[in-house]
Amino acid sequence: MYRPLKISINSINSILVLLRYQNIIPNQSIKCTELFLSASSSNRFRTKYYYYQDVRENPVIYLQHGMNTHGIEDPRIIELAKSIASCGYVVVTPELSVFKELNLSQLSETI
């Protein structure tokens, strides 16, 4: 017996993100806003928001950069954030100085 294939909107969006990240499908015109979030009086996080249209109803995705000196300016993070945002999500990329300033050679000596 034939059963129709059920495809969710999340599956379609996942495929679109991959196709846009690989530049097979061009990204939409994505907006980027930078601001500082305060966790306390002494902790402020530089953060970028990537979005396509009106963001009031869009789901949010938290995207964390890796341990490198580029932080949220890493071209791979920027392209991935734009690809995800072009599918209708708001992408939040906070910069964690602990990750950005980590010296891997010092870390490997202590392990």
Helix 9-21 to helix 75-85 angle (10° resolution) is 140
pTM: predicted TM-score of the whole model, two decimal places = 0.73
User: From the first residue on, what is the mean pLDDT of each consecutive set of 10 residues in the chain (111 residues)?
Assistant: 71 81 80 87 86 80 86 91 90 83 57 53
The pLDDT value recorded for residue 65 is 86
The pLDDT value recorded for residue 108 is 53
Q: Are 59 and 89 in contact (CB under 8 A)?
A: yes
List 32's β-bridge partners, or say none.
Answer: 50
The pLDDT value recorded for residue 104 is 57
The pLDDT value recorded for residue 103 is 57
The pLDDT value recorded for residue 71 is 86
